[in-house]
Structure 1
Amino acid sequence: MKIVTYIRTLMEKYGFYVSSRVADKLGMKARSVRITFIYFTFATLGAGFAVYLIMAFWLKIKDLIYTKRSSVFDL
C-alpha cells in the first residue's frame, strides 16, 4: 500500500499535469479526467496512454511558445 501511495505522490508531483489542465478547461474534476484516460487506455489496448503522452508533449510545446512576457527586455 505504501508503494502505491508513493507512486501516486510521485506522479502528481512530477507528472505532466495533463489531466488537471484538461479538467480546468472543461470545468470537470481532475479525478474524472484521469479515470476517463484509464478506461480509454484499457478499452483501446494502450492507445489512451499514447494520447496522454501526445497531449503532454503538445501542452509543453504550447507553454514554451506562448509564455507571457511582462516586458520587451525579457527576451
Structure 2
Amino acid sequence: MEVSGACPGPWIAVPVETWAGLGAWSVGPMAEWHKEPARGANLGRYRKATRGPKKPKPPRTRFPGAKHVATSRLLGTEQT
C-alpha cells in the first residue's frame, strides 16, 4: 500500500521517457538503482521501539518455602 501510494508522485515529477526504460532492466541494475538513494538514508531517524522493563515475577502464594512441589500434592489438595 505504501509503495502504491508513493508512486504517483515520481510519475508526475519525472518525465515519462525516464520511466519507459525501467521496465526492460534486469534485476541487477534495478537493485543498484534502488540501493543508491538508500545509501544516503539516515537510519537513526528510523529507530526501532525499545522494549520496556519486564514486570517482576509474582511471589508464590502456595508452598512458598518449597523449591519443587509434586503435581499429586497440588491436585490432591484441590480435590479434597
TM superposition score normalised by structure 1? 0.31
* Greater percentage in helix: 1
Task: Between the two structures, name the one with larger relative contact order (CA 8 Å, sep ≥ 6).
Answer: 1
Q: TM-score, normalised by structure 2?
A: 0.30
* Structure ID, larger Rg: 2
